[in-house]
Structures are given as structure tokens and as C-alpha cells.
Amino acid sequence: AQSVTQLGSHVSVSEGALVLLRCNYSSSVPPYLFWYVQYPNQGLQLLLKYTSAATLVKGINGFEAEFKKSETSFHLTKPSAHMSDAAEYFCAVSEEGRRALTFGSGTRLQVQP
């Protein structure tokens, strides 16, 4: 069975600081990994995804994530936080033969001025 753990339900950073949101997964087969962002009262929007090509994946809004098989991790980073990055972020995993995503519990990012 696949699962996702997101460390830290709330993360607060200052504007301009590094953003690091942690995600660890478990999967019995090579996974597909996703980060989604949810702004208040909206649906989920794809930030980026890993599908076994390059291990460093670049997404929208300056975010990127690195797939590390040895650590079973897919942490999300952004060099410099912006106020507009305040949102909830979800890491998710799926596997070949299973299209549905399994989500982590989410991390709410707060950006302080």
C-alpha cells in the first residue's frame, strides 16, 4: 500500500526566505509523485510532478522538488517566499496501474511580511 507523510502541518517563513516543505512516501513500486497547492476556498492546482524522468522537477511559481529514492523523499522548495505563496500544500503519490492519488495530510504555509 502506498502512503504519504508530510512533516509539519504548519510552516511559517518570512517573505524572501527559503521555503522547504517535507514529504516522505512509501510505495512498493516506483512511484509517481505530485505536489498540489490549494488556495483558500478553491480546488487543488498542480505545482509539479515526478514521473521517473529527471529527479529534480521544476514547477510553477518558482517551486521545485527533488526525488530521492534512497530517502523516499520528495521535498518541495522555493528559494524566496512571496506573500502570494501562502496556501496549503499537498504531496501525493500514485503507482503504475493505480491512477488515483493518495494524499498527505497537507502543510499550511504562512508567509510573514
Enumerate binding residues for another protein (CB under 8 A). 4, 9, 32, 34, 36, 41-46, 49, 51-52, 90, 94-106
Question: How near is the Cβ of 69 to another protein at its closest, in Å?
Answer: 16
Q: How far apart are CA 75 and CA 86, in angstroms?
A: 17
Q: How far apart are CA 65 and CA 92, in angstroms?
A: 13
Q: Nearer Cβ to another protein, position 32 or 74?
A: 32
Q: Nearer Cβ to another protein, position 28 or 41?
A: 41
Residue 21 belongs to what H/E stretch? Answer: strand 19-21
Question: How near is the Cβ of 83 to another protein at its closest, in Å?
Answer: 23
Sign of torsion, CA 14 62 107 22? Answer: negative
Question: How near is the Cβ of 92 to another protein at its closest, in Å?
Answer: 8
